[in-house]
Amino acid sequence: MSLKQWREEFERTNSRKDGRILIFHGVEGYDVYNCSIPFEYQGDQYMYGRVEKRGEWARSVTMLFQCVRPDEWRRVDSMIYQIEDPNVAVIHGQLVLNGTFAVYRGGQMDGFHALFYRGTDINDMHYFSTGPDNMKDIRLVELADHRIGVFSRPRNDEILQRYGSESQIGFTTIDHLDELTDEAISGAVYIPGLFSEGEWGGCNQAYLLDSGYIGVIGHKSYQSDPNGEEFSQSYINTAFVFDPVHHKVLEERILATSASYPAFSAKVPRLKDCCFTSGIVMREDGKADLYSGLGDTAEGRIVIDYPFEGYGRMESLSTRVPLR
């Protein structure tokens, strides 16, 4: 079954979820989207958000926001990062912030790479590594034995010719953040069976489960009617359970599509079906809040069932930055 068919079957049996479009204060005149998951620091909830004017491209910055009431966030006076699509992980007692830096040469965009920052003070994060050229969606997770799991996402013509899909997801482990190098990331071994012809995607947030498996919240994508008037890039919120010992996917599912969220405006028409996943945060009722960027203009939240049921529970410190 193609991703498009799988998506159509999902939408036939799943109605719109209980959801909200997040409100961001302190950045009037700008859109905030493709955010990190919320995380706890010194008793308060924060998230990083990609901030950009509606009519501009690749001129984003990442800012820090604090939750002031449910689904409302206010910009705080903190470091501003020249990166897009921020994401976070707690590794060895430090917050790690990662995002995409767009490279310009001669006034033209000439590629991109991931930048990594770390620290225990969200107002004083330190840059420490750069990912391989033209690779987005690199994600980290601390494992039960305190090694660091690294998910890669190469996307290039060589991948397309070899696999028929535009990208793959790889996985490897390192012992320390200082080992997060080009070579380590590029050497991640591909995870088989995730993408069919014409598809691409990546890992957006990874969670250690108490079973030792890794729960991955990601996205899968395809082009709708690429030769017609209704051309769009469809991005879908997905999840899979990964067995790092046997290097295989145990289960994969769709979590949400654009139809699952409240109505939103797209930056351009081809992004009207774009849901770029942020990740999940567990709720007291046992369900999960799923966060996602929408149309490159907004950030949405919906309530979903726990996506890794039967494979273990998420470790409780997944979104809490330890105090030092």
Into how many domains does the chain fold? 1
Q: Which SS3 state, helix, strand or coil, does residue 148 take?
A: strand
324 found inside a domain: no
Q: What is the pLDDT of residues 6-17, one digit of tens each?
A: 999 999 998 877
The token duo for 266 is 């797209």
Which CATH number is 30's domain given?
A: 2.115.10.20
294 found inside a domain: yes
Q: Name the average pLDDT for the chain.
A: 94
d(CA 211, CA 314) in angstroms, rounded, equals 9
Contact at 8 Å (CB) between 177 and 125?
Answer: no
Determine the pLDDT at residue 257: 97
309 found inside a domain: no
311 found inside a domain: no
What residue numbers bound the domain in which 177 lies?
3-304
319 found inside a domain: no
Q: What is the pLDDT of residues 183-241, one digit of tens each?
A: 999 999 999 999 999 999 999 999 999 999 999 999 999 997 666 566 789 999 999 99
Quick one: which of 221, 217, 215 has its CA closest to 236?
221
323 found inside a domain: no
d(CA 267, CA 60) in angstroms, rounded, equals 13
3-state helix, strand, coil in the chain (%, to 5): 10, 50, 40
